[in-house]
Amino acid sequence: MRQVVHQTPHQRRLAPSAAFLIGARAVQGLATALLFPQVYASIRVNFDAQDSRRAFGLLGMTLGLAALAGQVLGGWMVHADLFGSGWRSIFLINVPIGLLAIVAARYIPETRAPQRPDLDWAGVALVSVGLALLLVPLIEGPGQGWPACSFFALGLALGLLALFKRQQQRRRATGRLPLGTCNC
C-alpha cells in the first residue's frame, strides 16, 4: 500500500519530487568530487614539506569536525522546522556556505605545478580494480558465508596491488610521476 505524503506549496517549491531531490544531491556530490582534489593540490603547491603536513592535519581535523557539526546542526534544523519546510531545511545550509566559498575563492592565489603530470591510466586501473577486489569480499564475504569466489578475489587483489606497486616503482625509475605525488 502506497502512503500519500502531503506537501505544502512551499515544500513543493524546494523539492517538487523525490527524484528531483536525489538528482540535486547527486549533482552536489559530483561538484564536490570535482573540487576536492583542488584542495589537496593547493596545499601541495602552497606549502613546503613541514607546513604541508600541518595543513593536511588541519584539513583532516576540519573535515572531521564538519562531519560532526553537520549531524548536530542537521538534527537541530529538522527539530526546529525552519520556515515550515520540515527536513528539507537541512539542505538550505548549503546556500550561505556556498556563497561564502565563492567570495573566499577570490582570495586564494592561483597555483600551478612546475611539471604537468600525465595521467597514469594503467596505475588507475590496477589500483581501482585491486582495491575493489579487496574490499568487496571483505565487506560481503562474512554475510555470504565466505564463498570460494571471495578467496579468489582476495588473492587476485593482492596480485594486482603488488603489480601496481611494481608499476609505480618503474614509473618513478623512468622519471615519470607515480600516482599520488607531485614535484611541487
**Residue 60: band (very low, low, confident or very high) from pLDDT cuts 50, 70, 90:** very high
Residue, of 113 and 17, whose pLDDT is higher: 17
Mean per-residue pLDDT for 16-39?
Answer: 83
Residues 38, 70: one domain? Answer: yes
Residues 140, 60: one domain? Answer: no
52, 73, 105 - which closes a domain: 105
Does 179 reside within a domain? no
Residues 144, 83: one domain? Answer: no
User: Based on the structure, what is the number of domains in the chain?
Assistant: 2
pTM value is 0.52
Question: Up-side HSE of residue 156: CA atoms within 13 Å toward CB?
Answer: 15
Residues 100, 44: one domain? Answer: yes
Residues 169, 96: one domain? Answer: no
Taking the C-alpha atoms of residue 181 and residue 52, their distance in angstroms, rounded to an integer, is 13
Residues 16, 87: one domain? Answer: yes
Taking the C-alpha atoms of residue 63 and residue 61, their distance in angstroms, rounded to an integer, is 5
81, 105, 129 - which closes a domain: 105
Compute CA distances 160 → 23, 171, 176, whole Å. 35, 16, 21
Burial of 137 (0-12, 13-18, 19+ CB in 10 A): buried
> Domain span at residue 95?
9-105
**Residue 139: band (very low, low, confident or very high) from pLDDT cuts 50, 70, 90:** very high
Does 160 reside within a domain? yes
Residue 184: pLDDT above 50? Answer: no
Nearest CA to 113 out of 44, 40, 66, 56 is that of: 44
Q: How many C-beta atoms surround the C-beta of residue 131 within 10 A?
A: 14
- Minimum mean pLDDT among 65-74, 104-113, 164-173: which range? 104-113
Residues 125, 93: one domain? Answer: no
User: What sign for the dihedral angle of Cα 113, 118, 123, 129?
Assistant: positive
Of the segments 39-43, 84-88, 116-120, 166-170, which one has the largest average pLDDT value? 166-170
Residues 148, 79: one domain? Answer: no
The pLDDT of residue 169 is: 94
CA 183 to chain centre: 24
User: Residue 143 gets which letter from DSSP?
Assistant: G
- The type of residue at 30 is L
The pLDDT of residue 2 is: 52
Q: Share the mean pLDDT of the chain.
A: 83
105, 134, 159 - which closes a domain: 105
Residues 60, 126: one domain? Answer: no
Residues 61, 97: one domain? Answer: yes
Residues 23, 90: one domain? Answer: yes
Taking the C-alpha atoms of residue 41 and residue 13, their distance in angstroms, rounded to an integer, is 38
Does 110 reside within a domain? no
